[in-house]
């Protein structure tokens, strides 16, 4: 038989599609043709496969080899088809048995010496293979742990082409050296746990109101804007937010891991992301790094890597306008669509957004005796960089001033640490999960205004109070909806069944950076106020 057939997976965003790979050896001058909309990176596969086959001690057919990838209408790119192509050719040549690979999915990039290199996206590709009914996937050994998290499909890990050939022939596999993974835990400086496992909420002294804002943001999945002069502790506060969030649920964990797999940042020794990710891209990072993109293969950026976690834009006004504008799509839809000339990719991007900003370009415009010399116009321009539509989607806005020395001293030992606050957040999230079970929402921050008003209204006194402020123009209609969501989170944190007037007042204060009751949320009754 001169026809070999196997399968591979092509990825569009995080969704994979199984692709048939057929190899035909026909008469004609020695040549290899690859058809089925391959791009340049995939076309290079021809040379890699040929070299790898020869260097693995096998024979490359000295005739015309045609490899077709179907469906032919689907554009394909990347190097993950190498293994499938090489083995389809060897099967067509009769060098390996054709049957075992016919229904298997084969993934991996070949080095010229035949080593099988790691490729990005093995986790979502394996998911797609399992969903398409495939029973077996053959992957580079270094990607095997991530493929292994998918249920219902058996994973065959191989180090090299000769290893794969030996397995198919039922021979003893060669003793090849291990291949480098794409990413290891060490070189992932952003990888949540390492960065913030040592950060405790108790490190933040003073700032009772700002601390509460962070707690509410964590409890209800609310977006947060912190504004204040340099050194006020904005970065400190934001970095401690992910530590307050509970572990990812299994489904979310798989979603996040799939995105990280495509980005090639999933460590080989920790294939499942179980903690909410924390991404804090620098404002000088490229658009592709933040939003996602790339010329040939579209890769997710920080916005998608922060899926189900926290995206922190420190010094937000310093970010490029189109980065800030690009936030609108994920904030509205929870996903981001990146279009290129021939294709587009959609990645999930559902995160808690934290923005931090100085009050003005020089950062000194705060307090009574402000030394700021920025002009009004400069301040205005600086503020306007984070546009209305983005600001509008922020639930909590808080002005932060530097702590005074005596505040730091007085409080030693008295502030709540991460574990205490996180347990309150977990309890509040449990209440929300129960309330919203059977709906697409999990936390208050996700529930649309109309649904909230119709199904989970706040107490009439609270609603009437908010209505007055709306009528007086103190808050916009959208702002009022955000306040209702916040009121629910406040109630959930306090363990109250339904938001009353007090909760709505707190929500209003959270939204507009007004003083908050000191006793909240742990003690009743609501008493003195703190700035």
Ligand X SMILES: Nc1ncnc2c1ncn2[C@@H]1O[C@H](COP(=O)(O)OP(=O)(O)O)[C@@H](O)[C@H]1O
Cβ-closest position to Mg ion: 235
Nearer to Mg ion, 282 or 474 (CB): 282
Question: At 249, which helix (H) or strand (E)?
Answer: none
Minimum CB separation of residue 230 from ligand X in Å reads 4
Minimum CB separation of residue 226 from Mg ion in Å reads 9
Stretch that binds ligand X, among 87-95, 154-162, 229-237, 421-429 (CB under 6 A): 229-237
Per CB under 6 A, the list member of 403, 463, 501, 512 interacting with ligand X is 403
Q: With CB cut-offs between 5 and 8 Å by kind, which of ligand X, Mg ion, none does residue 133 bind?
A: none
Spatial separation of the C-alpha atoms in residues 476 and 463, rounded to whole Å: 14
Spatial separation of the C-alpha atoms in residues 39 and 219, rounded to whole Å: 46
Q: With CB cut-offs between 5 and 8 Å by kind, which of ligand X, Mg ion, none does residue 65 bind?
A: none
Give the distance between the most distant pair of CA atoms in the chain. Answer: 90
Nearer to ligand X, 141 or 280 (CB): 280
Per CB under 6 A, the list member of 13, 233, 242, 276 interacting with ligand X is 233
Partners of 64 in the β-ladder: 26, 31
Per CB under 6 A, the list member of 235, 274, 329, 335 interacting with ligand X is 235
Nearer to ligand X, 9 or 386 (CB): 386
Contact pattern for ligand X over residues 262 through 301, marking x by CB under 6 A: ----------------------------------------
Determine, following the binding rule CB under 6 A, whether residue 417 of this chain makes contact with ligand X.
Answer: no
Neighbours of 50 (CB within 10 A): 19
Q: With CB cut-offs between 5 and 8 Å by kind, which of ligand X, Mg ion, none does residue 221 bind?
A: none
Binding-site size, Mg ion (CB under 5 A): 1
Task: Tally the C-alpha atoms within 13 A of residue 20's C-alpha that lie toward its C-beta.
Answer: 12
- Orientation of helix 208-220 relative to helix 418-435, angle to 10°: 40
Determine, following the binding rule CB under 5 A, whether residue 235 of this chain makes contact with Mg ion.
Answer: yes
Per CB under 6 A, the list member of 117, 234, 240, 431 interacting with ligand X is 234
Stretch that binds ligand X, among 33-41, 231-239, 319-327, 380-388 (CB under 6 A): 231-239
Residues 6+ apart with CB under 8 A from 11: 17, 78, 121, 124, 125, 128, 262
Q: With CB cut-offs between 5 and 8 Å by kind, which of ligand X, Mg ion, none does residue 261 bind?
A: none
Spatial separation of the C-alpha atoms in residues 254 and 14, rounded to whole Å: 11
Contact 107, 119 (CB under 8 A): yes
Minimum CB separation of residue 210 from ligand X in Å reads 8
Determine, following the binding rule CB under 6 A, whether residue 364 of this chain makes contact with ligand X.
Answer: no
Cβ-closest position to ligand X: 233
Minimum CB separation of residue 211 from ligand X in Å reads 9
Q: With CB cut-offs between 5 and 8 Å by kind, which of Mg ion, ligand X, none does residue 231 bind?
A: ligand X
Minimum CB separation of residue 238 from ligand X in Å reads 8
What is the chain's percent helix, strand, coil content, to nearest 5? 40, 15, 40
Determine, following the binding rule CB under 6 A, whether residue 231 of this chain makes contact with ligand X.
Answer: yes
Site for ligand X in 173-212 (CB under 6 A): 204-207
Classify residue 153 as exposed, middle or buried by CB count within 10 Å of its CB (0-12, 13-18, 19+): buried
Site for ligand X in 61-120 (CB under 6 A): none
Site for Mg ion in 97-116 (CB under 5 A): none
Stretch that binds Mg ion, among 76-84, 182-190, 228-236, 378-386 (CB under 5 A): 228-236
Residues 6+ apart with CB under 8 A from 129: 7, 9, 16, 18, 105, 137, 153
Minimum CB separation of residue 229 from ligand X in Å reads 7
Which stretches does DSSP call E strand in 87-192? 105-106, 109-110, 116-117, 136-140, 154-158
Structure tokens at 153: 């499909």
Contact 504, 462 (CB under 8 A): yes
Minimum CB separation of residue 199 from ligand X in Å reads 11
The alpha carbon of residue 406 and the mean position of all alpha carbons in its chain are separated, in whole angstroms, by 40
- Orientation of helix 477-494 relative to helix 501-512, angle to 10°: 120
Partners of 387 in the β-ladder: none
- Orientation of helix 161-169 relative to helix 82-92, angle to 10°: 40
Binding site for Mg ion (CB under 5 A): 235
């Amino acid at each position: 038989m001169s026809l070999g057939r196997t399968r591979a997976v092509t990825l569009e965003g995080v969704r994979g599609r199984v692709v048939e790979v057929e190899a035909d050896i026909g008469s004609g001058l020695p040549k290899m043709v690859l058809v089925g909309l391959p791009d340049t990176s995939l076309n290079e596969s021809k040379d890699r496969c040929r070299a790898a086959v020869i260097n693995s001690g096998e024979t490359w057919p000295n005739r015309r080899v045609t490899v077709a990838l179907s469906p032919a209408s689907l554009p394909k790119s990347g190097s993950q088809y190498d293994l499938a192509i090489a083995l389809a050719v060897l099967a067509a040549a009769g060098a390996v048995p054709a049957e075992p690979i016919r229904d298997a999915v084969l993934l991996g990039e070949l080095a010229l010496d035949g080593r099988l290199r790691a490729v990005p996206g093995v986790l979502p590709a394996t998911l797609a293979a399992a969903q398409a009914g495939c029973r077996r996937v053959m992957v580079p050994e270094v990607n095997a742990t991530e493929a292994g998290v998918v249920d219902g499909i058996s994973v065959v890990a191989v180090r090299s082409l000769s290893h794969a050939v030996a397995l198919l022939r039922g021979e003893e596999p060669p003793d090849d050296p291990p291949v480098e993974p794409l990413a290891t835990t060490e070189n992932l400086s952003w990888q949540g746990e390492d960065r913030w496992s040592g950060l405790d909420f108790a490190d933040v002294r003073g700032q009772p109101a700002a601390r509460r804002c962070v707690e509410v943001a964590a409890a209800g999945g609310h977006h947060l804007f912190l504004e204040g002069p340099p050194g006020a502790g904005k970065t400190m506060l934001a970095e401690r937010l992910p530590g307050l969030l509970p572990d990812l649920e299994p489904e979310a964990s798989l979603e996040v891991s799939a995105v990280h797999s495509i980005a090639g940042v999933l460590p080989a020794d920790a294939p499942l992301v179980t903690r909410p990710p924390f991404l804090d891209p620098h404002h000088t990072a490229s658009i592709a790094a933040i939003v996602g993109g790339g010329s040939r293969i579209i890769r997710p950026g920080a916005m998608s890597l922060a899926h189900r976690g926290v995206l922190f834009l420190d010094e937000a006004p310093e970010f490029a306008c189109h980065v800030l504008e690009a936030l609108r799509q994920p904030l509205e839809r929870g996903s981001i669509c990146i279009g290129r000339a021939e294709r587009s990719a959609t990645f999930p991007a559902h995160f808690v957004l934290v923005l931090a900003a100085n009050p003005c370009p020089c950062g000194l415009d705060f307090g009574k005796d402000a030394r700021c010399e920025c002009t009004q116009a400069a301040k205005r321009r600086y503020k306007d960089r984070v546009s209305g539509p983005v600001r509008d989607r922020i639930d909590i806005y808080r002005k932060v001033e530097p702590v005074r020395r005596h505040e730091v001293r007085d409080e030693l030992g008295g502030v709540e640490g991460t574990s205490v606050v996180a347990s309150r957040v977990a309890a509040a999230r449990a209440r929300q999960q129960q309330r919203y079970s059977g709906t697409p929402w999990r936390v208050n921050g996700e529930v649309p205004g109309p649904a909230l008003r119709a199904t989970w209204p706040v107490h009439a006194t609270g609603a009437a109070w908010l209505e007055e402020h709306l009528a007086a123009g103190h808050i916009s209609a959208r702002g009022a909806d955000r306040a209702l969501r916040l009121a629910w989170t406040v109630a959930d944190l306090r363990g109250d069944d339904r938001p009353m007037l007090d909760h709505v007042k707190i929500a209003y204060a959270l939204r507009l950076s007004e003083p908050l009751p000191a006793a909240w949320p742990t003690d009743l009754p609501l008493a003195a106020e703190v700035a």
